[in-house]
Structure 1
């Protein structure tokens, strides 16, 4: 039996996602790309392109370049947006197929419910915040932009938490009956969101640093950068412990894109050539006497170590400590009983045991 609200949310989320991709393309390609496109279009369409281009004064990369300090990454790192949007588009299309596919007594988007209604609500809010951040950042409203970026990270935490919980809750049934969907959710959704939340977390630190250095009391950029690296180091240590040595481990075991993404971003910060006070660009990016360069190098090495350890731990746990989802005895074959079990009245009886 269909659930119209959830089906609508899935379709509406895809429309919002495509519009978000469009906004990000416009905000990051305001130069030669649009001019070349304009050259090959009719004059009437060229006017529309001019109107769209007026939505943003600069690209995100150019805006960031105007507020450089030691935490600013190299401009090429913003191409990660393309990876993020492509990866997450794949699981969006997968989610759309669950509306049309049916297994035994239920449509796949109804049960198993790996992407529940709260997930889609949080995801749609996230997309709205992403679009809002683009306009705020382009308009140099850095303090509201930092707030929006923090809310983006929080909404992604909600998305991951809900899908982690639901995947483990119905994992026993999915493993026995629909293993392909279980792997799809783990590989596509969880890891796609892993890249997204890692990159936006670093962007939040960058946005916060711009506020502290260029707005308000205008703190010393060296001290601000040290503080940002310290905050990032704290999050790295906390997350490494949580994902490997706590009861959270079975839920996020197969989310492995966080550390590679962090390595890429820290590398972009490390090799960036910030302009000197006289406007010139130095011939090297490493200064052995600069504490932030040393701090950055240490964090980059630590991220590489954590990434290696993470892959080893995942492989060992996969072989020696499979996730105990419990059993799927609670899901009967009879359609009437299945419908009864699939109601909220029996929600608490369907929780799976996670070792």
Structure 2
């Protein structure tokens, strides 16, 4: 086992410990009475103190249960690859679909997660925005490294493991990570609106800060939809979770902040609608590409048989 393989093994074993520490700090930050020297306040009180038109209704935060279950699921999957073997050796290493840089980026995202808890707890609003932005970016970097590794190794996964193994990677690993980091993306725009509206008395009104943040979120959704169906299709073709998260968050924002006289209400409705349209577009693009690929493969087989005859 070379140094790379040892690093992958070590990082895989360390990943549940990193998740446990992250979950513990997040749980402590939500204790209603605060907890002395660790956190001064708690997330519930701070969320109520710094409300904007992006603040979702309380029920929306139940998504964290799904997020943590999904994170645990991909970590359990990763641990099983240490024990399971194929004809080339450990499934973990043959091929590597959770590479070193995936783990490094993911661990940094967990560090930024915990750092954000302290920043927001101390009410460093601009600092909290910067840290949660880094949390999202390192998370997407982790997803990128994983998606590239999977795309590069998918034929080996099918050959030495199975098609089921590849689908498990798509569903549990990729969509599990997408659920977390798409939620954090929305939280990042919420944090931006808070920083703009409340830092040093606020450089913008709550409504204007919310409008800017919602508009940027809408731009990101549209741009990403274009990119994932073109340039990044082969890496992101199996990831659908972020549209579910977007609609979930959008409806929760609408439930809490609905006001027909507030321009952010129709803007939020637009985001929900665009999210649904982007989801449908992706389904259509995915279906057409798979159909085209199958037709191409069938044509090649027919041509090969014809030549052989």
Counterpart CA distance in 2 for 1:69 and 1:195 is 23
Give how far 1:54 is off. Answer: 5.2
Counterpart CA distance in 2 for 1:68 and 1:175 is 49
Q: 1:13, 1:123 within 8 Å by CA — same for their partners in 2?
A: no
Give how far 1:70 is off. Answer: 1.6
Q: 1:119, 1:162 within 8 Å by CA — same for their partners in 2?
A: yes
Give how far 1:272 is off. Answer: 0.7
Counterpart CA distance in 2 for 1:184 and 1:320 is 24
Give how far 1:319 is off. Answer: 3.8
Deviations 1:206-262 (A, max 9, x none): 111111101135312222111111101110111110111x13111111001010100
| 2:3 aligned with 1:8 | no
Partner of 2:114: 131
Counterpart CA distance in 1 for 2:73 and 2:290 is 25
Partner of 1:44: none
TM-score in terms of structure 2 length = 0.88
| 2:87 aligned with 1:115 | no
Partner of 2:264: 292
SS of structure 2 residue aligned to 1:214: helix
Give how far 1:83 is off. Answer: 1.4
Partner of 1:313: 285
Number of residue pairs matched by the alignment: 293
The structure 2 residue matched to 1:224, chosen from 209, 213, 224, is: 209
Partner of 2:83: 100
Higher helix residue share: 2
CA RMSD of aligned residues (A): 2.2
Larger Rg: 1
Unaligned runs of 5+ in 2: 297-309
Superposition map of 1:196-345 within 5 A: 196-216=180-200, 217-244=202-229, 246-273=230-257, 285-287=258-260, 289-321=261-293
Give how far 1:61 is off. Answer: 3.0
